[in-house]
Structure 1
């Protein structure tokens, strides 16, 4: 596990050439916003899979936007049990809690090789005072994170094992689709059944049995980490609720 800075090696992506800006699912920046974000960004951080670049209880001087790769937010109990709270995909912001509250109340781990745009906490006031449209975007991203946590709590508290598994996979598929990672209704999910179990609040055995039931429905296929959505309507029916993308959505 390792962390690496992009500064000084010629690999820091200029904001005007950011590949995320080409995505239809993200709102465009005005010239003023783009100039501010270019100044706001100080570095890029590269994180190897399995490394936690933010840890519960630590003070964070930075917040980050995922430029490429997958990560997940989690909390640990004293006995080692883990609850995965959410996943971060390209254009998602992480570390906002630490940037605003000085101390992280959860940890964030890389699922894949991860590249992060780095923004210093000390410049947050400049963003709020000088570019109110970007300040609104930060607020939107925080509200969206709260909404995702609400959905996760609903799943763990009230949905059946099959419903919550179907809803989580549909949710992650839609987010991957927004990120431009889906091809021909297929996506290579980087997580294991253990990650799913830790997200769903179920044992690994229960998760495995539930996945077998879901695959038997022929709504989806999942083999060698390649997930294919075969019948969206059938998956929505099993989940009990559809997942609607929000376009165009902000990012920093």
Structure 2
């Protein structure tokens, strides 16, 4: 259905937003919903591999992900890439560029994505007119910081096996919370190159590490990604367990 909507150029109305139907997200008040409806300027559809935002660019827009997976990354001058974090529905991208005038990282679509588009020039009016939504943006930014803290701990102190287990368990938990994954849909759309660039490992080391997880029947590698067979087992290896589910905001 989502692909058909993209093909036909049909935009999702705020009243029919799929995120509002997910109990993982908090509900808007009527005035907040009307403000967001006016703040929103359109919808953007990106194919897998599309660069949505570029490091150093001055973007006129902010985006909230409606559908699909993406990732944030930085690239060194010699071409080496570090994936910073992954993006799922409900996440906002471009906020950094709106506050600091230019992006300090790039964003790429991992799968086909649908994003709501907002004009950055109207961002300040959100804080002026709706303190609750202003708090939501602060929550979103703080949550991103918390995730990066955990990622830094993983890269700095976990073993290669623990790092890989943590990343796959973390992404499975995020995907499940927002409806991208379920009991029947357990495939993360990652290549081993994505995992290597996230964990700071070579492809060879990454391959050996992932084969160890597969040998424990925790994951299975398919042509187009990684199927998580035992999320709890991955969590145990990483010594990481998701916290209690709380309703999260989105714009």
Check 1:233–1:17 CA distance in 2 against 1; reply closer, same or farther (3 A cut): closer
* Runs of at least 5 residues in structure 2 that lack an aligned partner in the other structure: 1-5
Q: How far apart are 1:46 and its partner, in Å? A: 1.3
- How does 1:68-107 map onto structure 2 within 5 Å? 68-107=67-106
2:64 aligned with 1:65: yes
TM-score (norm 2): 0.93
Count residues in correspondence.
245
1:187 touches 1:226 (CA, 8 Å); kept in 2?
A: no
Q: Distance in 1 between matches of 2:109 and 2:119?
A: 20
Output the CA distance in 2 between the equivalents of 1:217 and 1:225: 21
Aligned to 1:171: 170
So what's the TM-score if we normalise by structure 1? 0.92
Looking at structure 1, the residues matched to 231 and 47 of structure 2 have their Cα atoms a distance apart, in angstroms, of 33
Q: 2:46·2:113 contact (CA, 8 Å) conserved in 1?
A: yes
Q: How far 1:54 moved relative to its partner?
A: 0.5
**2:82–2:198 contact (8 Å) kept in structure 1:** yes
Alignment partners' CA distance in 2, 1:234 and 1:70: 24
Range that drifts further, 26-35 or 216-225 = 216-225
SS at match of 1:42: strand
Distance in 2 of aligned mates of 1:231 and 1:104: 37
Q: Would the alpha carbon gap of residues 231 and 72 (structure 1) be closer, same or farther in structure 2, given more than 3 Å must change?
A: closer
Q: Which residue of 1 aligns with 2:250?
A: 251
Cα distance in 2 for partners of 1:244, 1:228 equals 23
Contact (CA 8 Å) 2:57, 2:103: kept in 1 or not?
yes
State whether residues 70 and 87 of structure 1, in contact with CA within 8 Å, keep that contact through their aligned partners in structure 2: yes
Distance 1:109 1:156 in 2: 22
Q: CA deviation at 1:237?
A: 1.6
1:219 matched to 2:218: yes
d(CA) in 2 for partners of 1:167 and 1:135? 32
Asked if 2 retains the 8 angstrom alpha-carbon contact of 1:196 and 1:207, the reply is yes
Q: Which residue of 1 aligns with 2:115?
A: 116
Runs of 4+ with >6 A deviation: none
Aligned counterpart, 2:236: 237
Contact 2:191 2:225 in 1 (8 A): no
CA-CA distance at 1:185 after TM superposition: 5.5
The equivalent residue for 1:145 is: 144
The worse-fitting range, judged by mean Cα deviation, of 120-129 and 240-249 is: 240-249
Deviations 1:116-161 (A, max 9, x none): 1001111111100101111000000000111111111111100000
Asked if the contact 2:220/2:227 (under 8 Å) is kept, the reply is yes
Please report how far the alpha carbon of residue 182 of structure 1 lies from its aligned counterpart in structure 2 after TM superposition. Answer: 1.9
